[in-house]
Amino acid sequence: MLYTLNDMKYSCEILDQYTIDPVKWNELVENSEAGVPFAYYGYNACFKPSNIFYIVVIDEKTNIYIAGITGRIQGILPIIGKRLASIWIESSVLLDCHHETIRDEKINEFKLYIYNCLINYAKKLKVVQVFFNHWTRENNCLILKELSFNVTENATFELNIEKNDIDEIIKSRCRNSIKKANSNGIKCSFFHNISAETFSNVEKLSKDTYKRTLLKNNKSSIQIKSKYFYEILKKNIPDSFIIGIAYDIKKEPISFALVLSDRKRAIYYKGGSDYEKNRQTSASNLLLYDFIKLLKSIGIKYFDLGGVPYKPTPNHPAYGVYKFKESFGGELKVYYSGYYVVNRFKYFLYKMVLSNHALKRLVNMIINK
């Protein structure tokens, strides 16, 4: 399929995990301002290869990838399989900001073209919907609305750790919590080479957090990852994967954080804690504080603290998460995600399945196993 812009011709191809060039694709991710760890070839390798696809715009003269998007086809239950499958997207359109064609006035044109290719591909596959999850870092809601997406605001706190000293921007309540953690003898360790014991600790703290969240809000969409998923993630993106764990004076794990990064940006991907012990010691505050210092020392420029509720009120179930992340002094950023309904009848059935909260939790466990 040929694409013409400014009298220059490009080829647009739909590739899979076997036909994509991993080096060229990863270079596109790294050269894009919208590049996130979830767009890397290695991250996609954590999932079933036949479910992964890439829509790529290729410069015919140089044969490099100058724009694209990746996603996966995800069913909701083994019995139903792909009959109610969706296309699952975890990054916005990637554009090579170093390429001569990618100029400000043409960015939206490229985005529209690729998003339209995505929608047409979804229609060809006869899926339920195209779903952009909360990790999507699309900053232009008008483009999604123009394409008839149902748009949702996704908020996060982002720290410019290259320019800012963390000790100067954290709020007083966070500083006090860090002092409390230190006085309680909390020590933090960070791992690239991870033992089976570390994975087991992470899985246990994840499950504790998952159960506690559902008790607080049984409609929560919190997702739990298995030890196997963490192991395969580590295997496929070893250079992007760092786990931090805070231990008490008895060397018992109290809190963990998993951060994924590329050359310039890191994202707080998963976290969890023993609620009572963490409340008593403020271990999570010290862990994230030490994590920020570590990331700065290895040259990371921006630290995205992951999702927070958008404009929450004090009675919001995740208001505590919002205040915790806010206390580190980052800038509140709002991005956009959403969904495009491909088949309205299938979408009705899909929503019927997920209206059962117990079944919804089962679906989440299957998707994230």
pLDDT category of residue 263 using cuts at 50, 70 and 90? confident
Burial of 161 from C-beta contacts in 10 A (0-12 / 13-18 / 19+): buried
Task: Name the DSSP class of 102.
Answer: -
Question: Band of the pLDDT at 80, cuts 50, 70, 90?
Answer: low
Mean pLDDT for the stretch of residues 362-367: 51
Average pLDDT of the chain to the nearest whole number: 87
pLDDT in tens, 13-34: 999 999 999 999 999 999 998 8
Residue 200's pLDDT band, with cuts at 50, 70 and 90, is: confident
The whole-number pLDDT of residue 222 equals 60
pLDDT of residue 8: 58
The proportion of the chain whose per-residue pLDDT surpasses 90, expressed as a percent, equals 59
- Summarised one tens digit per residue, pLDDT across range 287-332 is 999 999 999 999 999 999 988 989 899 998 889 999 999 999 999 9
At residue 3, does pLDDT exceed 70? no
Structure confidence at residue 127 (pLDDT):
94
Render the burial of 277-287: b for 16+ CB within 10 Å, e for the rest.
Answer: bbeebbbbbbb
In 3D space, the residue among 311, 314, 362 whose CA is nearest the CA of residue 332 turns out to be 311
Tokens of 298: 């290895």
Residue holding tokens 């931090």?
244
The token duo for 127 is 């899926």
- Residue 223 has a pLDDT of 65
Length of the chain: 369
Does residue 364 have a pLDDT over 70? no
pLDDT tens track for 129-180:
999 998 888 999 999 999 999 999 999 999 999 999 999 999 999 999 999 9
pLDDT of residue 297: 94
Give residue 62's identity as a one-letter amino acid code: T
The span from the CA of 36 to the CA of 294, in Å, is 19
pLDDT at 5: 54
Please tell me which residue, 215 or 88, carries the higher pLDDT value.
88
Identify the pLDDT of residue 260.
94
CB 161 within 8 A of CB 303: yes
Do the beta carbons of residue 222 and residue 365 sit within 8 Å? no
Per-residue pLDDT, averaged over 46-71, amounts to: 93
Domains of the chain: 2-128+342-367 (3.40.630.30), 156-335 (3.40.630.30)
User: Which pLDDT tens digit goes with each residue over 204-224?
Assistant: 888 887 777 666 665 556 666
